Amino acid sequence: MYGKGLRALSISTVAVMSVALGLVFFWVPLEAEQGFLQKIFYVHVPLAIVSLCGFVAGGIFAIQHLRTREQKWDFRSYVAIHTSLIFGVATLITGSIWAKGSWGHWWVWDEPTLVSFLIVFLLYATYQPLRFAIEDPERQARYASVFAVTAGAFVPLNFVAVRASTAYVHPRVLGATSNLPWQMSLTFLVSLLGMALLFTTLCKYELTAKHTRAQLRALMRLAERRAGASTSAPPQRGRSAAPSLHATAMTANPSEGRAR
Amino acid sequence: MSALLAVLPALPLHEAGKYVAGAYVVLFALVLIYVGIMAVRSRRLERDLAELLAREQRASRAEGDAPAEGSADSAGAQSQTARRESTLV
């Protein structure tokens, strides 16, 4: 049952996001150099961090899928990467807006952090077409998992490579070089928590919706079979990038759903 | 509310204001689009469920016609209960 705890999670997300917005606009002091423009930092950086963590989580779920061959891990990997892509789009747009306000350009090609994020985003943008190109669901899940593991390993490597580069044009937020005042650090951490909760909530909504749809389809097939409409023909599945969820896989261990 | 607004600092919405507003609007627009997509999906689920319920009611009515009168009545009653429940949701 993917919908378990969804209401509490949604309420916590709204509460933390509201607190974060209150802190950003009414409490945290203005930054000396950028002034009001620096408020974008509290939305752009958490979006980027959560997006990258989501890509890595997709890779971890994919490892689980390759180890156990259980469909649910492929399903989770797909949803994590799918949601991370949406967060990635938001990161790129908010980053562009910040760059325009701060540097006077929508995009700067000689800034390693920007370009590396774009590379990661474009890499993951091929994930959906890759899935769509493979019709056999088993093969699709396996290939997608291999892709998610490889790309997921690339994300932290890329992050370390950018950090090790000499150009420090992009401000550092986390680590020993961070010199944020405590009010800014606290606001940033609340924003990061809010964004992480938003990511988790959206993932859970997606998982619940897709799972419910799969269950309904399975029920419809059962009803059709009982009515004698299709006694021997296997269920037809159109080509899709989304993982296929079989009713047998979902109902094989109903107690597991309750424990989750 | 007005007392609260009086003690809160005024937002310096000058040159940078449009960029900050733009960045936050992008985030909320994306969330809003997502919620819209979820609403469409929920509507589709609702429609499919209604279709399934109607199909099951037809099937149970057809099954009820074949056996004895008593069981047909009970099938009809079940169908009516299901219809009532579906309208309550």
**Res. A45: pLDDT tops 70:** yes
Interface of A with B (CB under 8 A): 25-26, 30, 34-37, 39-40, 43-44, 47, 86, 89-90, 93-94, 97-98, 100-101, 198, 202, 205, 209, 212-213, 216, 219-220, 223, 226-227
Q: What is the pLDDT of residue A119?
A: 92
**Res. A171: pLDDT tops 80:** no
Report helix angle A41-68 to B17-65, nearest 10: 40
Chain A: residue whose CA lies nearest to B28: A90
**Res. A36: pLDDT tops 70:** yes
Mark yes or no for CB contact B30/A90 under 8 Å: yes
- Residues written for chain A: 260
On whether residue A245 sits in a domain, the answer given is yes
Q: pTM of the entire structure?
A: 0.78
**Res. A83: pLDDT tops 60:** yes
Based on the structure, what is the number of domains in chain A? 1
Give dist(CA A70, CA A62) in Å, integer.
10
On whether residue A6 sits in a domain, the answer given is no
pLDDT in tens, A5-30: 889 999 999 999 999 999 988 888 88
What is the span of the domain harbouring residue A193? Answer: 12-24+38-223+241-251
Give dist(CA A122, CA A158) in Å, integer.
13
Q: What is the pLDDT of residue B52?
A: 86
Which residue in the set A86, A94, A223 is minimally distant from B23, CB to CB? A94
Between A256 and A30, name the one with better pLDDT: A30
On whether residue A258 sits in a domain, the answer given is no
Kindly list the domain boundaries of chain B, sorted by start residue. 15-88
pLDDT averaged over consecutive 10-residue blocks of chain B (89 residues)?
A: 60 73 90 90 89 84 65 50 45
Distance (Å) from the C-alpha of residue A223 to the closest C-alpha of chain B? Answer: 7
Q: What is the pLDDT of residue A221?
A: 85
* Bridge partners of residue A35, in order along the sequence: A31
Determine the straight-line distance between the first and last CA of chain B, rounded to whole angstroms: 38
Chain A residues touching residue B17 (CB < 8 angstroms): 36
**Res. A178: pLDDT tops 80:** no
b/e string for A58-89 if b means 16 or more Cβ within 10 A?
A: bbbbbbbbbeeeebbbbbbbbbbbbbbbbbbb
Mark yes or no for CB contact B16/A98 under 8 Å: no
Mark yes or no for CB contact B9/A26 under 8 Å: yes
